[in-house]
Chain A
Amino acid sequence: MFDRILPYLLAGVSVGGQYALIAVGYTMVYGILRLINFAHGDIFTAAGFFMVYLVASLPMQLAIPVVIILTVALGFILERVAYKPLRTAPRMSVMISAIGASYLMQNLMWYVTGGLAKQYPVLPWLSNIVQIGSASTKIVTIVTPILTVGLVIALVALIKHTKIGMAMRAVSHDFETSQLMGIRINNVISMTFIIGSALAAVGSMLYFTNFSTVTPTVGAMPGLKAFVAAVFGGIGSIPGAVIGAFLIGICESLIKAAGYTAFSDAFTFALLIVVLLFKPTGLFGEKAAEKV
């Protein structure tokens, strides 16, 4: 029995780890700006395309850091161009701006790539195939959850024990007061986007090593699922987003294993609705504090 379930669990944990790396970006931005950054999935896709094009001219060891730097720059520019000018605007305007940025990026990628699927380069070692019990899989499947958990622990440490982390917590707690206390709010927000984009870049490397086709809309589905994971775990909470992502990844895989392949997405989203009915703030959501 376990032999049969093992390959599904492996796939689920691996996909869950990739969702987690994207979900952290959603949840951090929400925690600080109360904004759902709809363009986050497209940043993830762009990271995939950066790699496709960079590998053509750079050696792999160099391409990997350059991809991360470019993705971070993209996230930074996105915030400066699409969100910063709207800092005092109603929240709805910022959200519309986010949706606009998402479509703009999708269509730009469509234009640049001609809309055709590109084959992601093979990352050495990660793509090698290993045998675990009766299951055979790529090394990336094993690496993903370990790397994800490691990165998230590092991130939590950063938020708990550094000055910028303290600033982030303060901003997330009370936007206006922290401004009055002399925190440079724009730097804190930029930092959030930088961290989120860097994690999305790492996530995209792991994701596309497993699923090697990059198209302009490929980020939409994982982006949506990661967003669901962030809400599921309680948006604003980093451990919540990670646990939510792993749960959704494993759930999806097991539902397919049970033979309900056509309903796997429907099931995932139904699960979200049920959780929100009983726990409106998600599994680990912050309690809604009344500000007087």
Chain B
Amino acid sequence: MKKLIALLLVLMMVLPVAAMADDLPVVKIGVFEPSSGDNGAGGKQEVLGVEYANFVKPTVTVGGTEYKVELVNVDNQSDSAKAVTAAQELVSAGVAVVLGSYGSGCSMAGGDVFAAAEVPAIGLSCTNPSVTTLCDYYWRICFLDPFQGSVMANFANSLGAKKAYVLTMLGEDYGNGLGHYFTEAFEALGGEVIPETFPEGTSDFTPYINNAINKGADVVFAPCATTYASLIIDQAASLNVSFPLLAGDTWESSVILDAAKGKNVNVYVSTFFDENDEAGAAKEFVTGFKAWLNANADKKTNNGGNDIVAAVSALGFDGYNVALAALEAAGSIEPAAIAEALPALVYADAVTGSISFDEIGDANKDMAYVKKANTETGAFDFVKTQSVAGL
């Protein structure tokens, strides 16, 4: 009897090992995103795109061997200081390639760690030019702030604005960069810019909005985190402002829609993707992604409780596929080989438009979508597309 029990115990220990041996070898992809802090809401939506892509394509064949793709999630808490620790965590986990981060500041902070470990990183929605220029191991699949800034400056100009009030957070890389490029472009168009900054942790934006009113601004451009954006929108509405509020890609979020709903306020954003795009790959993604969200309650909660497809989710989806394409092209799961394969990579099936990289590592993207928050339906309405050639 004792022998039988001993045998059973041995079997119980061996069997799981045997079961694992049947499994595919694993390749790890790091997901370097905030899921808390100022950019938490956007970061979660970007992660959703990556997770959905992983759900669609759970394996990849590299050099004749099929690997199971394992996502390693870390939370960089929207904080440049904590981003370094989070990046180190990914490197120690032995990831082959990194995706993220939402928020250019965190990407820049993490970039140094990835460069030191020689692990390639693919930025999904970080638009500040310095992310790639200051780091040889960063690539990115979205457009850049100089382009986005001039898109919004041209759009403000087309609304008939002559004076713009630009509000950014002190010491924040993304907002200051975008504000700077907007200012350059708007002044080149003959407009006047009134720049102001607010310190981190500000809740009371009424003095700023009053400043904009008193200085006769025709438009307010406020690229900042959505936490502040919802306060700005709410307070602008209670001050009955007549000018429209403009911002960049971060404002394309359900946080903004919730803040603007039912209020008398005009909010315009520029972004990477339009959910009503009729192109084959995009449409297939939108349908599949919505079905996936509706089938998973916790995923839907992470998306803000609705099934509106955010542009950052589309970029997350594309980023994952670009990473798999890079693994296939490299024919190896070694980070160094992937870094070598990335510059020449062309990924044509992307839902946000074909992706290839220039010598700095930026995607050759030349299309932005301008959308308006509909205060009745609580969704974004498509306004226009803007390409580089049209500027």
Contacts and interface: CB of A to CB of B under 8 A. Distances in A.
A281 interface: no
Given A217-B201, A256-B211, A129 B259 contact: no
Contacts of A264: 199
Nearest to B206: A11
B66 interface: no
Contacts of A272: none
A80 interface: no
Interface string B168-198: 0010000000000000000000000000111
Interface string A106-126: 000010001111010000000
Residue among B198, B235, B238 facing the most chain A CB atoms (10 A cut-off):
B238
Contacts of A110: 36
B203 A7 contact: no
A112 B147 CA distance: 39
Contacts of B75: 115
Contacts of A178: none
A211 interface: yes
A22 to B, nearest CB: 13
Contacts of A221: 201-203
A117 B258 CA distance: 12
Contacts of A262: 170, 196-199
Contacts, number: 98
A117 B41 contact: yes
A213 B199 contact: no
Given A7-B239, A117-B226, A257-B210, A211 B231 contact: yes
A136 interface: yes
A8 interface: yes
Interface string A174-218: 000000000000000000000000000000000100111101011
Nearest to B202: A221
A137 interface: yes
A175 to B, nearest CB: 36
A212 B41 CA distance: 16
Interface range, B side: 35 or more
B243 interface: no
A4 B212 CA distance: 12
A240 B186 CA distance: 48
A129 B237 CA distance: 9
Nearest to B194: A259
Interface in B214-272: 214, 226-227, 230-231, 234-235, 238-240, 255, 258-259
Contacts of A211: 203-204, 231, 234-235
Nearest to A253: B207
A110 B235 CA distance: 26
B201 A114 contact: no
A228 B255 CA distance: 32
Given A137-B238, A265-B199, A11 B170 contact: no
Contact of A213 (B35, B206, B230): B230
Given A110-B36, A261-B196, A11 B234 contact: no
Contact of A257 (B44, B207, B234, B258): B207
A213 B77 contact: no
A211 B228 CA distance: 10
B227 A215 contact: yes
Interface in A1-33: 4, 7-8, 11, 15
A100 B38 CA distance: 24
A212 B210 contact: no
A282 interface: no
Contacts of A285: none
A221 B75 CA distance: 24
Interface in A79-132: 110, 114-117, 119, 129
Residue among B38, B203, B227 facing the most chain A CB atoms (10 A cut-off):
B203
B37 interface: yes
A220 B201 contact: yes
A222 interface: yes
A153 B70 CA distance: 63
A16 to B, nearest CB: 11
Contacts of B44: 116
B353 interface: no
Nearest to A4: B214
A138 interface: yes
B174 to A, nearest CB: 17
B195 to A, nearest CB: 10
B40 interface: yes
Nearest to B215: A259
Contacts of A217: 201
Given A117-B226, A136-B239, A8 B170 contact: no
B208 interface: yes
B227 A119 contact: no
A7 B206 contact: yes
A105 B254 CA distance: 28
Residue among A8, A110, A116, A136 facing the most chain B CB atoms (10 A cut-off):
A116
B40 A119 contact: no
Given A4-B214, A7-B210, A261-B208, A115 B35 contact: yes
A261 B198 contact: yes
B36 A115 contact: yes
A222 to B, nearest CB: 7
List of 4 A-B pairs having minimum Cβ-Cβ separation, nearest first:
A115-B36, A256-B207, A211-B203, A11-B206
5 contacts: A117-B255, A119-B259, A213-B230, A221-B203, A256-B208
Given A116-B40, A211-B204, A217-B201, 13 more contacts: A114-B40, A116-B41, A119-B230, A119-B255, A136-B238, A207-B203, A212-B259, A213-B203, A256-B208, A256-B211, A257-B211, A261-B196, A262-B197
Interface of B: 35-38, 40-41, 44, 75, 77, 170, 196-199, 201-204, 206-208, 210-211, 214, 226-227, 230-231, 234-235, 238-240, 255, 258-259
